[in-house]
Amino acid sequence: MEKTRVPTVSRPKPVQLIDTKVYVVNKDNLQNFITEFEETHGELAYVALSMRDYENLALNISELRRYINQQTNIIVYYEDAVTPEPNKDDRVISETQVQ
């Protein structure tokens, strides 16, 4: 049976993530943190997460990774399924170069 020929498209550009810093602040280091942060970065803004929400964020990122990896595997499977097999005459017999 011959494979169905479907043109494959190029893969999307890889993700380019920007580094993000997370600072762990509690009531014991809050004043020192504010002073050092404002000296280094200027204005200070707060985004607060409970420990449970921080764990959920990490789990969500892990779930996104799993999903992306599975989607990649599906794409590779279908690319392989629609890519024509080389003819017997097109096979590489040896990797050694002839001089």
Closest CA to 7 of 87, 98, 82, 94: 82
CB count, 10 Å around CB of 33? 15
Question: What confidence tens digit (pLDDT) does each residue in 30-82 have?
Answer: 999 999 999 999 999 999 999 999 999 999 999 999 999 999 999 999 888 88
**Could you tell me the pLDDT band of residue 93, with boundaries at 50, 70 and 90?**
low
Contact (CB, 8 A) for 84 and 5: yes
**What is the number of helices (H) and of strands (E) in the chain?**
2, 0
With 60 as the cut, is the pLDDT of residue 92 above it? no
How would residue 95 be classed by pLDDT, with cut points 50, 70 and 90? low
